[in-house]
Chain A
Amino acid sequence: MLSKKKTVDALVAAWQQDAAMAERIEAIRTIEATAATYAPLPSDMQPSLVKALHARGIEQLYTHQREAFDYAMAGQSFTAITPTASGKSYCYHLPVLQTILTNRHARALYLFPTKALAQDQKSDLHALIEAMDEEILSYTYDGDTAPGIRQKVRKAGHIIMTNPDMLHSGILPHHTKWVSLFENLQYVVIDELHTYKGVFGSHVAHVIRRLKRICAFYSSDPLFICTSATIKNPKELAESLTNTAHALIAKSGAPTGKKTFVFYNPPMLHPAFGVRRSAVLEVRDIAKQLYDAHIQTIVFAKSRVRVEMLVTYLQAFTKHQLQDTTIRGYRGGYLPSERRVIEKGLRDGEIRTVVSTNALELGVDIGQLQACIMTGYPGNIASAWQQAGRAGRRQDSALIIYVAQSTALDQYMIEHPDFFFGSEPEEARISPDNMLILMDHLKCAAFELPFRTNDLYGEFHIEELLDYLVDEHVLFKTSDTWHWMNERFPAHDISLRSAAQENVVIIDQSVPAHTRVIGEMDTYSAMTLLHEEAIYMHQGVQFQVETLDWDEKKAFVRQVDVDYFTDANLAVELKVMSEDKELVLSDAKIGFGDVSLLAQATIFKKIRFDSHDNIGSGPIHLPPMEMHTTATWLSFTPPSQLSKEQLTDVLHYVAYTINSFIPLFIHCDRADVHVVPQVKAVHNELPTIFVYDSYPGGIGLSEKVYDMWRPLLEKAREHITRCRCENGCPACIGAQATFDEPKQQAIRVMTQLRELFN
């Protein structure tokens, strides 16, 4: 049989010769390889450390690694921007090991966003320590750590590798068992800093404040070392997360290989409506070409549903082979054991194509992949670069294929390929000020150590809050001290990861005698993904939700084989509770403040595979979710030329476009902010567009948008104006036209709004 193996370069060359492909490829950009810049090993580096580096063939450091070492030795906390494969772990291993070699009592705490990453780094660190031939003890400490060795880890471990969740509920509330760690803690390493954004980042910011408080109690004052992928504000994020001043190492000295970027736009199906062929189907076809050419590929999709759809499509290539495991899915919601098997398969090369959500953006070690396909723009530049970094980590030529969807942001990206290369990455925001999060962790902090009058908690004055907790019978105040005085163990009531703090467990009851748990999902997503009759996909297998027990948070599913998937609608009602900021323009008003919100899943649609036709629908019966959060809004005098119906539609168009472009300005997950239009807002009876944070209490995203209405509107208007469709399409104003000149009306209203700022 003829081998169809091809190199990346040969495949791209073939595509350029192919007329159909060439038409769809809107741009090809190549980043040439760059050479490394080096600095010598520090002269005072301990001999055993030098020996270990030499054993690995390292005679000199990349400049950023040397800079890191020097900052640490000077006692300065720092943050290093480290692209994939730049040897980032040396930025912290070297100073930490150097310090331990000179002071055997010194301790370090490494934080990784997930357990898997800590496990991964452990083997790496162990190998380094082994090459040094020194007695330095490093351990992972998490739910998997055997009870038998926990005591040893606590007492004797020089380097403890854990995750924020374990620190939050397993270490800090038991700090008296970790006295030798806290008394001697010299370094706190925070890897993958950029992942600490939004709600999770805000929680972790408080976990770090609690950690620092406990260190102060034991008279230690550790340095913080953070490493981050490229984001706009690494220093600001690190400082906000750790409440400590940081130096920044922005330039990497590591070499990079050649990367070829292909910007692929699916063919137009209905030019008038601006509808293109589904990106998912295009990705399927491209992935098949790569699979046949034996190019190991990772396919990124934005949602779990997309991942499962793609796995289903792709596994169809190999269905004639028994027990084929060369194509796999990988995403949150799989059980850890399942994930370990997949990671290993990738490293071994046994898996040739993997389809993933952003779970694999993180530095899980899966060895070299040759190509990466993005199904749609991942929502922000930082993520896009992270995904692209998955290809060609350790080899020369890598291929990155961006397949655009019909949405506004995706089309903007494909029209502006240089935006991807030239523009600044987005900001990552956290909000330690969120009252609910602050209060949660204040309780934990009060449990861990009593507060005294005039004590600050992090940067916060908290006397009023502590007195409130006294009223709530949580604390007890003596003359100058607030003591914990409650039976609860507060850390157990607080989860760092999920907004709703409770997950719905998914139970497969296909075989009645052997029901089994196959995954879990947060409640907010469950409203639209696990309602009764929803099709839930897991490893490409379809399950239908038979019963959703909302009170018990259990979804019972059964395996089915149907030719459609489901898509649900969420209706939202908003009320302004208080207005904290206000900007009055000539004919409009911008506000920021607290809102109360009522979200309810209403109906779902069944959509056929391949054609994506709507083939049925049904109601969803779930209780509404109520939430208090922060929002910014823009209210304006209704334009006289529009009827009420027209205005409703136009507002939806404007909201749709704005929603698409928010990720250009702030680094957040798509679901972190929402845009909702109201023809007659309850608080002022004016047409209003709301942008709200989708987490109770808000996490500072809409507050940021409050300052960005003008560039946001400009960007949106410019995009609609330039869109080549006739009457509006998914790439600009979204929905189908219901009256004449919808696009023109939208442009008119947006022009009007933009002019308010002049």
Chain B
Amino acid sequence: MSYEKKLMQMKKMIKKEPTAPTQKSSYEKPAPPLYSERWEQAGLTRIDNDFGTVFKYEVTYDEQYRHGQYALGMLDDVMMRWEEAGLTHPYATDSDETLLFFDTETTGLKGVGTHIFLLGFLERRGKNFVLTQYVLADPAHEAAMFFESKLWQREATVVTYNGKSFDWPQLQTRWTFSQGVIPRLREQRQIDLLHSSKRLWKNDLAQMKLKQVEEQKLGFVREDDIPGHLAPIIYMDAIKSGETSSLLKVLKHNEWDLLSLITLYIHLSITLFEEATNETVVAYTNVGKWYADLKQHARSEEVLTNVTQSYEAYETFTAHYYLGLQRKKRAQYDEALASFLEGRKAEDMRISLQSYEEAAKIYEHTYKAYDDAYQLTTAALQKVHIDRTLPWKSKEAFEQRLQHRLKRLMKKREIN
């Protein structure tokens, strides 16, 4: 109620006037903030350009530098491997490409009023890796920061974690505010590593937060990290008070994110080449499935065959199902049937039922073995009936499909 009361008191102060069309004023370069010196003392470099002030923080890493279980320099190896493999894959890169690992910190979640206050980049430069962070001096200096980032000028492949749906669109949004002041933002090739994390680990990891991925897959544990959701408050406080100690922690947080982006890219690439030693059967099965979805059928079959040969039989039922699909595609029906019969034992009810269906199809259409097909279909129906896991809708769909097949098979059995 006190808010309401205050507003009622302020009512007297409101003046009105008929609106005249407003004239758009040309860009005026804002004055540097009062706390510039304090920020410089904290180790940030002040840059003044035609559009205002931006603060920069730079760190150089040797290529031998290890972040978790990988040295940064391994990036060259995996890029080379991609080139040699000649595969079509969203993560494939070639050695001509400049990879720019990119992450932002913002003052909120979405909408045009959310500011980007930190642009973080990490890239290969000569023998080293260079981390560059641009910190928004205050909201008036946004154009200065964007201009300095050179994102309007240079060409690079931008590698992010959830950047396709968050960082990049938000950058486009905020860049619009400086339209007519600085050059347009250049469109770049985007690689979003969150996408692959979801594909490979959806059955392995409870959360897809970068922090979880670091700890469980990259061998890195943060110490004295600030939680990401505090970043907005820390920045707001830093531009009000000029205080930098917490702000530096946000910079550190962003730095870890960027380092992890490199090692995550390395790790994912190695996994896609089947060379990661600490990966699970689930992840490798997902790799095989991913290649299949990309229509890289030979590669998919190769990966899945490897899975079925390298792991214990009880771990590979799902892989068998996907392998069966590949074999069926190549008309290797005997092998496909064998795989589907294995796939029936998968824990995932959907995979199991689909294996039943696929096997029944081969019996019915290829071998005209209606009794076998009938038996499998009946067994699958029983499984559906006692199931407690499927959503109602898919349960119903399975039931309908199986009943339909059963009816048809009954007819075919009578005729023959």
Q: Which residues of A contact B177 (CB under 8 A)?
A: 176, 449
Interface centre among B1, B19, B111 (most CB of A within 10 A): B111
CB-contact partner of A436 in B4, B114, B115, B239, under 8 A? B4
The secondary-structure label for the interface of chain B is loop
Given the known inter-chain contacts A221-B21, A478-B140, please indicate yes or no for A461 contacting B10, CB distance below 8 A. Answer: no
Q: Which residues of A contact B21 (CB under 8 A)?
A: 216, 221
Is A638 located at the chain interface by the 8 A CB criterion?
no
Give CA–CA (A174, B169) in the complex, Å: 11
Interface centre among A176, A456, A460 (most CB of B within 10 A): A176
- Asked if A465 and B10 sit within 8 Å, CB to CB, the answer is yes
- Asked if A174 and B112 sit within 8 Å, CB to CB, the answer is yes
Q: In residues 120-178 of chain A, which contact B (Cβ within 8 Å)?
A: 173-177
* Residue contacts A-B, CB under 8 angstroms, 5 given: A462-B14, A479-B30, A479-B31, A479-B140, A487-B232
Q: Which residues of A contact B109 (CB under 8 A)?
A: 487, 489
- Asked if A216 and B30 sit within 8 Å, CB to CB, the answer is no
Q: Which residues of A contact B386 (CB under 8 A)?
A: none
Give CA–CA (A696, B115) in the complex, Å: 32
Given the known inter-chain contacts A478-B139, A487-B107, please indicate yes or no for A456 contacting B17, CB distance below 8 A. Answer: yes
CB-contact partner of A577 in B8, B174, B232, under 8 A? B8
Given the known inter-chain contacts A476-B239, A478-B139, please indicate yes or no for A177 contacting B113, CB distance below 8 A. Answer: no
Q: Which residues of A contact B7 (CB under 8 A)?
A: 435-436, 439, 697
Give CA–CA (A479, B5) in the complex, Å: 29
Is A243 located at the chain interface by the 8 A CB criterion?
yes
Interface centre among A175, A460, A487 (most CB of B within 10 A): A487
Give CA–CA (A518, B302) in the complex, Å: 55
Given the known inter-chain contacts A176-B173, A243-B19, A481-B139, please indicate yes or no for A464 contacting B13, CB distance below 8 A. Answer: yes
- Asked if A448 and B112 sit within 8 Å, CB to CB, the answer is yes
CB-contact partner of A461 in B14, B108, B115, under 8 A? B14
Q: Which residues of B contact A468 (CB under 8 A)?
A: 6, 10
Is B138 located at the chain interface by the 8 A CB criterion?
yes
- Asked if B173 and A177 sit within 8 Å, CB to CB, the answer is yes
Q: Which residues of B contact A320 (CB under 8 A)?
A: none
Q: How large is the interface on A (under 10, 10 to 19, 20 to 34, 35 or more residues)?
A: 35 or more
Q: In residues 91-125 of chain B, which contact A (Cβ within 8 Å)?
A: 107-115
Q: Which residues of B contact A176 (CB under 8 A)?
A: 112, 172-174, 176-177
Which of chain A's residues has its CB closest to B106's CB?
Answer: A487
- Asked if B16 and A461 sit within 8 Å, CB to CB, the answer is yes
Return B226 CB to nearest CB of chain A, in Å: 15
Q: Which residues of A contact B111 (CB under 8 A)?
A: 173-174, 447, 489, 491
Is A752 located at the chain interface by the 8 A CB criterion?
no
How many inter-chain contacts with C-beta < 8 Å in the A-B complex? 126
Which of chain B's residues has its CB closest to A179's CB?
Answer: B176
Given the known inter-chain contacts A476-B138, A476-B139, please indicate yes or no for A485 contacting B236, CB distance below 8 A. Answer: yes
Chain A window 175-193, contacts with chain B (Cβ cutoff 8 Å), 1 for yes, 0 for no: 1110100000000000000
Name 6 extra pairs, CB < 8 A, besides A435-B8, A479-B140, A481-B140: A174-B112, A447-B111, A449-B177, A462-B14, A480-B28, A484-B113
Q: Which residues of A contact B13 (CB under 8 A)?
A: 464-465
Is B26 located at the chain interface by the 8 A CB criterion?
no
State the B residues within 8 Å of A (CB).
Answer: 1, 4-8, 10-11, 13-19, 21-22, 24-25, 28, 30-31, 33, 107-115, 138-140, 172-174, 176-177, 232-233, 236, 239-240
CB-contact partner of A628 in B8, B24, B33, B173, under 8 A? B8
Is A458 located at the chain interface by the 8 A CB criterion?
yes
Q: In residues 427-459 of chain A, which contact B (Cβ within 8 Å)?
A: 433, 435-436, 438-439, 446-450, 452, 455-456, 458-459
Which of chain A's residues has its CB closest to B117's CB?
Answer: A485
Given the known inter-chain contacts A177-B173, A489-B108, A697-B8, please indicate yes or no for A461 contacting B17, CB distance below 8 A. Answer: yes
Which of chain A's residues has its CB closest to B52's CB?
Answer: A478
Which of chain B's residues has its CB closest to A435's CB?
Answer: B7
Q: Which residues of A contact B14 (CB under 8 A)?
A: 433, 435, 438, 460-462, 464-465
Q: Which residues of B contact A628 (CB under 8 A)?
A: 1, 4-5, 8
Chain A window 225-269, contacts with chain B (Cβ cutoff 8 Å), 1 for yes, 0 for no: 000000000000000000100000000000000000000000000
Q: Which residues of A contact B33 (CB under 8 A)?
A: 478
Q: Which residues of A contact B10 (CB under 8 A)?
A: 435, 464-465, 468
- Asked if B240 and A476 sit within 8 Å, CB to CB, the answer is yes
Give CA–CA (A435, B4) in the complex, Å: 9
Q: Which residues of B contact A439 (CB under 8 A)?
A: 7
- Asked if B5 and A478 sit within 8 Å, CB to CB, the answer is no
- Asked if A478 and B8 sit within 8 Å, CB to CB, the answer is no
Q: Which residues of B contact A174 (CB under 8 A)?
A: 111-112, 173
Is A303 located at the chain interface by the 8 A CB criterion?
no
Given the known inter-chain contacts A460-B16, A478-B139, A489-B108, please indicate yes or no for A219 contacting B24, CB distance below 8 A. Answer: yes
Which of chain A's residues has its CB closest to B176's CB?
Answer: A176
Chain A window 672-700, contacts with chain B (Cβ cutoff 8 Å), 1 for yes, 0 for no: 00000000000000000000000011000
Which of chain B's residues has its CB closest to A244's CB?
Answer: B19
What are the 8 tightest A-B residue pairs by CB atom distance, in nearest-first order? A447-B113, A483-B139, A478-B140, A484-B113, A176-B176, A176-B173, A435-B7, A173-B111
Which of chain B's residues has its CB closest to A450's CB?
Answer: B139
Which of chain B's residues has its CB closest to A213's CB?
Answer: B22
Interface centre among B7, B15, B176, B177 (most CB of A within 10 A): B7
